Structure 1
């Protein structure tokens, strides 16, 4: 008896990282709501991206600035490893701030855009945080 490939698993596996991101976004939204935040009000939101080179981080920063983000900073990312601190490889953070209404639809769209930007320059999007607005 031969086993046939189960195509649904392949589709599910391709979507798995996105589902994990969605769940992470939902957890942050739930934490904001649990803290009493009014999710209909714009919140101070900070996004964190990481890159292998300062040039890649600065390129992403330029695109974020053009998209209207503020307080954009590029720094060498801290590491706990003494070896990495001394000899590398080093990572560079790109941190950008904005004010946005933390709706599920808006957060998902922003996460998708940030992931695309990080991938464009060979980096990773590490997520976001937002202020509690009463």
Structure 2
């Protein structure tokens, strides 16, 4: 995951000012204005946003000096970009009680986003930090955004992108356990449905794709989707492979009013 780690950048030191907010930074790839982009976002803010006393979004756009050909940040520049972001986040928090919500890396630019209550002297705070990095040109702006649409409609991942993030987290745990991800192994999936008919139709769509049924049951304790299907298939577990078959199952489940509830597999260290 080295390349992804370089794009994601440094671990954030952000400390929340809201007791119910659990900081949860992650990232995903997307296209913005038809250009490959990386978005990093604090997913944990979705549980408390919009924050009522922070009705203004503020952004700082930094022109990278040595971007990759695809417009994302290079290995050589990722560390200093992370330092700039950390400095901006700390200064904005101390001087304006700002909430650091995310960033966009695209087309040779690094855009960093905050929400603040009062925009007075925000421009000075940003300029003071950027004076420490004279080689970098930058721009900034503010806009009223009471509903935090910039966070929810732009930075926050769509459901399919969120599923890919969850896939990567499982893969990261496999790697932490010593898995090299090179060995095919049984991969289990759980899907829950509202009706038996929905479950049958879903299975009819995938029964010729190599899956086998591990458990097919019904239990009212499962809630609104009491019909459970636990299936398994031998597969690769690299990111591209997992995204391909998991998102395939996730989409099909949605077509039949189902809820794809995740996947798991064994750690293979050989």
Q: What pairs up with 1:97-112 in 2 under 5 angstroms? A: 97-112=232-247
Alignment-derived partner of residue 199 in structure 2: 57
Q: What pairs up with 1:57-76 in 2 under 5 angstroms? A: 57-76=199-218
The structure richer in strand per residue is 2
Q: Which runs of 5+ in 1 are unaligned?
A: none
1:34 aligned to 2:176?
A: yes
1:44 deviates by 1.3
TM-score calculated relative to the size of structure 2: 0.41
Alignment-derived partner of residue 44 in structure 1: 186
Report how many aligned residue pairs link the two structures: 125
State how far apart, in whole Å, the 2-side matches of 1:118 and 1:75 are.
16
Structure 1 outlier segments of 4+, above 4 Å: none
TM-score calculated relative to the size of structure 1: 0.78
1:16 deviates by 2.6
Q: What pairs up with 1:83-94 in 2 under 5 angstroms? A: 91-94=226-229
1:25 aligned to 2:167?
A: yes
| Residue pair 1:42, 1:101 contacting (<8 A) in 2 also | yes
Secondary structure of the 1:117 match is helix
Please, which moves more after superposition, 93-102 or 57-66?
A: 57-66
The structure richer in helix per residue is 1
State how far apart, in whole Å, the 2-side matches of 1:57 and 1:69 are.
14
Please, which moves more after superposition, 50-59 or 62-71?
A: 62-71
Which deviations, in whole Å up to 9, do the C-alpha atoms of 1:80-112 show, x marking residues without a partner? 7xxx6xxxx561011110111101001111121
Alignment-derived partner of residue 113 in structure 1: 248
Alpha-carbon RMSD across the aligned residues, in angstroms, is 2.7
State how far apart, in whole Å, the 1-side matches of 2:219 and 2:240 are.
30
Q: Which runs of 5+ in 2 are unaligned?
A: 1-143
State how far apart, in whole Å, the 2-side matches of 1:60 and 1:16 are.
23
State how far apart, in whole Å, the 2-side matches of 1:127 and 1:27 are.
11
